[in-house]
Amino acid sequence: MDQSSVLEQIGRERRRYPRLYRRFVIRYSAIEDLAGCTPCHIGELLDISAGGLRFQTDAEVGAGGQLLFEIELPGWRERNGDWRRTGREEDRGVLRVIGVVVWVKNGRPEVRREVGVRFTGQMR
């Protein structure tokens, strides 16, 4: 395989699911913190797909940790597990999912961390 083929292979999109690029506030907690009633953390969603999400946070987050997310989705409604886009901003479906932290990009101290998460389950 020549160098240009290798670079082309590296540059190809590897994601299975299309991404929705939206920025809004999300809430999350580490699974191990739930029993101790530790308050949830706030983050900013950068993008989301059926397989996971990417967000920014000021809190410490470690790769491999499990997080429980509560994501309020403007313009969406959920009924009996079926999600539908309504397009009306006042409609707000709440998605509760569990995910594992796949990667963390730590910026400078004054810059927020960027975190990649793969979904592992959904809560009702």
For residue 76, give the CATH number of its domain: 2.40.10.220
* pLDDT at res. 37: 62
Q: If 0-12 CB within 10 Å is exposed, 13-18 middle and 19+ buried, where does residue 52 land?
A: buried
pLDDT tens sequence for the chain (124 residues): 443 343 344 344 455 777 777 788 899 999 877 776 666 899 999 998 889 999 999 888 889 999 999 888 888 888 887 888 888 888 888 888 999 999 999 866 667 899 999 999 877 6
Whether 8 maps to a domain, the answer reads: no
Q: Is residue 7 part of a domain?
A: no
The answer to whether position 4 is within a domain reads no
**Is residue 52, in this structure, part of any structural domain at all?**
yes
Establish if 115 belongs to a structural domain. yes
pLDDT at 40: 86
DSSP letter string, 31-51: GGGTTTTPPPEEEEEEEE-SS
- Residue-range definition of the domain harbouring residue 28: 16-123
**Has residue 1 been placed in a domain?**
no
Q: Note whether residue 11 is domain-resident.
A: no
pTM above 0.85, yes or no: no
Structural domains in the chain (count)? 1
- 46 in a structural domain: yes
